[in-house]
Structure 1
């Protein structure tokens, strides 16, 4: 796969596996019990892999996996690396705040001119 010079903030990947999705989800649940380096949590067909709380900062990434069944014996794993969703919400809020201040300053400047 050739590399480009683009900066990707939230890299994504997709894997097709010749196993049942429930078997793959069960493997992730077993991995949670066997290791303590990462926190593995499952919600329906979604698996979240995070660092433990004592090793986290607000920009620490997490891996979000969505495991979808394609057929009885195959599934697709879609992965997304990124920060905690609250960080993205704060990022967007700050952009809207700056945009609002810019618009207010523009209106104020226009009325004073």
Structure 2
């Protein structure tokens, strides 16, 4: 599994020739095995897989999986990403930087059109720099969590995506 440059939350979609009950039962049994380094929760049509809590850090990824019935088996949709609280923090910070950029741009261009000093426009490079810093830190976080992502993906390949085909 490779992570592309601009892929924020890597995804996969596979068709597995097993029923949802078989898949969830298999994953639940595997999670209960004490030797596994993966933990999570299993519902009737979803899974959330994480690294055990003693190995987690700020950038630890998790996998959210939804299962859909299909005449040929089950469609498995997976999306890797940070914990929901980390994800919302970044969404909020991106929104905040974007909103500040928009407000500064509106005020600055209004002042410019009125023939007034538009020094506030000098704040735009800083807000765009803030967006770049957020992007760079999220990419750094992805690199720091890559080994754990591979660990989760290995578990999924072994216990969920056996004989799966791309959809």
- TM range, smaller chain: 0.7 to 0.9
Aligned pair count reads 110
Q: Secondary structure at the match of 1:82?
A: strand
Q: Residues 5 and 89 (structure 1 numbering): CA distance in 2 closer, same or farther, change over 3 Å?
A: closer
**1:62 maps to which residue?**
62
The alignment's TM-score, normalised by the length of structure 2, stands at 0.57
Query: Which residue number corresponds to residue 126 of structure 2?
Result: none
Which has the larger helix fraction? Answer: 2
Residue 98 of structure 1 is matched in structure 2 by 97
* Aligned-residue CA RMSD (Å): 2.3
- Residues 87 and 74 from structure 1, CA distance in 2 versus in 1: closer, same or farther, beyond 3 angstroms? same
Give the secondary structure class of the aligned counterpart of 2:23. Answer: helix
Structure 1 stretches (4+) deviating beyond 6 angstroms?
Answer: none
**Structure-2 separation of matches of 1:104 and 1:65:** 38
Q: Which has the higher strand share?
A: 1
Assess, with a 3 A threshold, how the Cα gap between structure 1 residues 74 and 84 changes in structure 2: closer, same or farther.
same
The Cα of 1:44 is off from its aligned counterpart by: 3.0
Is the partner of 1:41 in helix, strand or coil? strand
- Aligned-partner Cα distance in 2 for 1:4–1:97: 27
CA distance in 2, matches of 1:104, 1:45: 43
TM-score (norm 1): 0.80
